[in-house]
Amino acid sequence: MLGLKKADRRLFLIVAFLVIFAPFLLNPFPEWAGMAQFNAGYPDLMQKLVIFGIFAVGYNILFGLTGYLSFGHAAFLGVGSYAGVWMMKLLSMNVIPALIVSVIAAGLFSLLIGYVSLRRSGIYFSILTLAFAQMCYSLAYSVLTPITGGETGLTLSQDDPRILGVAQGADGNIPPPNVFGLNMGQSIDWAVGGWSFTFNAGYYLCGIVMLGAFYLAVRIFRSPFGLMLRAIKSNQTRMSYTGLNPRPYALAAFVISGMYAGLAGGLMVAMDPLAGAERMLWTASGEVVLMTILGGAGTLIGPILGAGLIAYLESIISTINDNIMHGWFSALPMWLDTTLVTLLHPFIGKGWHLTLGLVFMAVVIFLPGGIVQGGKLLAGLFRRKKPADTNATSATSGE
């Protein structure tokens, strides 16, 4: 089915299942329960999880396969966002043309930057991409204000032409983003007992796009082209001795991952038609690197897990405050409760970045293979198949 091998097909079906049933899976606690804090089944967050998943899956095609560490991918996300908003301003509020143009714009842009940056490798490549991204960010903030909206960001307005659609709806407002009339903000709520599940049109659009993007990534990983990319990572010199020029392959990977970033940017504005320069800041590029590493660079499922985990933890941890923690520890003795809350205080709420930094350092130090490696280690512990186990780990580690 779908031209995939059995294991890949199973992986793809698992991801598809997760995406389709996310409104249930992310909403395990009824609303009256104290744990409802950890529910993530609301549309904004689910959209974010999926969009960052796309971004990380694309980034992984470059970093995971070829080993080129780019610190400038946020620039492509930003370009995609701007292109998407412009299409909504000029053409129509239908998100399909916006998405297509986002991908194309980001692709062309990454072709340009990749062509220059890939002339160098290693740390020079990282710094070149970083320099380009910072350049784009500064320009978007200053000179390119007519195109990017500068500090306020690029927004829709009522006197945009929108030649294929309507400039204003019947009520005089800007029409919402839609797919052939299906409003992206539209949701169906389904209340069962204490649970309330939300099925959002925008989320399912993102989900379908992500499944497509993931499928493509699986095909790339398993293709001869993917093998070439892995060859770049393991030994470029040897690759060129066999008569293959690594650069076109690396450039292709760079452009593909740039297009994924553009797609993610396009989806972001399709959900919320606003594009700002801060999306291009290099810390945003750092974030996608974190997601990929945390999940497991070079694995298929890793980036999705990493992106999901970071986006989820970000929104959950930053909403926890001292009172909520006091609620959790209320069963404990008073002094223990106070100590725990005082100890945890720096890591929650606004301290979310501190937690992220610590987790990230721990992952790089102890688990360079990310969650996927951790899972394999755990599985290995449980299986207890001594000789076969080491073989299995080494054989699948390239996955």
**Between residues 97 and 150, which has the closer beta carbon with respect to another protein?**
150
**DSSP secondary structure string, 174-202?**
PPPPEETTEETT-EEEEEETTEEEEEEHH
**354 is a site residue for another protein (CB under 8 A):** yes
Please say whether the beta carbons of 262 and 106 come within 8 A: yes
Alpha-carbon distance of 240 to 32, in angstroms, equals 62
Rounded to the nearest 5°, which phi and psi values hold at 196? -135, 110
Position among 286, 374, 375, 380 found at the interface with another protein (CB under 8 A): 286
- The maximal CA–CA distance of the chain, rounded, in angstroms, is 71
Residues 362-381 that bind another protein (CB under 8 A): 364-365, 368
Question: Which among 4-12, 13-21, 123-131, 303-311 is the span making contact with another protein, rule CB under 8 A?
Answer: 123-131
Position among 45, 75, 130, 264 found at the interface with another protein (CB under 8 A): 130
Question: Which among 84-92, 192-200, 358-366, 374-382 is the span making contact with another protein, rule CB under 8 A?
Answer: 358-366
**277 is a site residue for another protein (CB under 8 A):** no
Distances in whole angstroms, Cα of residue 302 to Cα of each of 57, 59, 306, 365: 8, 11, 6, 17
Please say whether the beta carbons of 267 and 206 come within 8 A: yes
CB of 194 to another protein, least distance (A): 37
CB of 109 to another protein, least distance (A): 15
Question: What is the DSSP-derived secondary structure letter of residue 65?
Answer: H
Tell me if residue 326 falls in helix, strand or coil.
Answer: helix
Position among 4, 16, 139, 392 found at the interface with another protein (CB under 8 A): 139
Position among 12, 76, 109, 141 found at the interface with another protein (CB under 8 A): 141
Alpha-carbon distance of 132 to 116, in angstroms, equals 10
Please say whether the beta carbons of 266 and 102 come within 8 A: yes
**320 is a site residue for another protein (CB under 8 A):** no
Q: How many residues bind another protein (CB under 8 A)?
A: 40
CB of 265 to another protein, least distance (A): 21
Tell me if residue 275 falls in helix, strand or coil.
Answer: strand
CB of 17 to another protein, least distance (A): 32
Question: Angle at CA 139, nearest 5°, toward 135 and 144?
Answer: 155
Question: Which among 39-47, 75-83, 91-99, 352-360 is the span making contact with another protein, rule CB under 8 A?
Answer: 352-360
Element (H, E) at 61: helix 43-66
CB of 363 to another protein, least distance (A): 8
**Between residues 71 and 195, which has the closer beta carbon with respect to another protein?**
71
Question: What is the DSSP-derived secondary structure letter of residue 348?
Answer: S
CB of 38 to another protein, least distance (A): 23
Question: Number of helices (H) and strands (E), helices first, in the chain?
Answer: 18, 6
Question: Which among 77-85, 315-323, 324-332, 348-356 is the span making contact with another protein, rule CB under 8 A?
Answer: 348-356
Residues found near another protein in the complex (CB under 8 A): 67, 69, 116, 119-124, 126-128, 130-132, 134-135, 138-139, 141-144, 282-283, 286, 289, 293, 346, 351, 353-354, 356-358, 360-361, 364-365, 368
